[in-house]
């Protein structure tokens, strides 16, 4: 489970269906609400503006006095968390909206770089298959392969996080 920090408040991310989700309770704490159900109340007042990709109910295991229990929890995607921030009226809401947008932009940039790498890799693989067809096109392959390899390597370098060591 990954965690994000907003103004010393931890927001635990739940991985479900390949997406990251944050609980309503964590979002409420980040926004400065004293009660965890305030975000759910905001959602209930504006539910027509949320899509299924923005919020869901998930079942989470919890320990209770009588053993293991399953509780239902409302979770929000980053887009859903941003929309909650739009309706919130706390002193932290404006900064929360900016923070969520910055995370979304970073996530989209990473996704587009990954997509670009897959496209470049697919072009390289297609070129390799083309060259192996009974040896035909081998000279064409020798001409076209180097820039494709260079592009795949260049994107791979950009994807690697840089370590800034002093």
Tens-digit pLDDT profile for residues 142-159: 788 888 888 888 877 777
| Integer Cα distance of 32 and 89 in angstroms | 10
Task: Give the pLDDT band (50/70/90) at residue 163.
Answer: very low
Range 48-63 average pLDDT: 80
Predicted pLDDT at 29? 84
Burial class (CB in 10 A: 0-12, 13-18, 19+), 112: exposed
In angstroms, the CA 72 to CA 58 distance is 6
pLDDT tens per residue across span 96-135: 777 777 776 666 555 566 777 777 888 888 877 777 765 6
Q: How far is CA 83 from CA 16, 55, 95, 159, in A?
A: 20, 10, 13, 30
pLDDT at 75: 86
């Amino acid at each position: 489970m990954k965690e994000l920090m907003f103004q010393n408040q931890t927001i635990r991310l739940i991985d479900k269906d390949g997406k990251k989700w944050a609980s309503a309770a964590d979002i409420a704490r980040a926004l400065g609400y004293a009660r965890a159900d305030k975000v759910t109340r905001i959602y209930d007042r504006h539910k027509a503006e949320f899509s299924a990709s923005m919020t869901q109910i998930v079942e989470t295991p919890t320990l209770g006095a009588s053993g293991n229990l399953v509780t239902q929890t409302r979770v929000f995607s980053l887009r859903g968390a941003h929309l909650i921030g739009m309706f919130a009226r706390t002193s932290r809401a404006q900064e929360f909206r900016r923070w969520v947008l910055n995370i979304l932009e970073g996530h989209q940039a990473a996704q587009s770089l990954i997509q670009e790498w897959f496209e470049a890799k697919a072009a390289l693989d297609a070129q390799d298959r083309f060259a192996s067809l009974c040896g035909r096109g081998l000279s064409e392959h020798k001409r076209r392969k180097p820039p494709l390899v260079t592009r795949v390597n260049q994107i791979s370098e950009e994807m690697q996080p840089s370590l800034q060591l002093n």
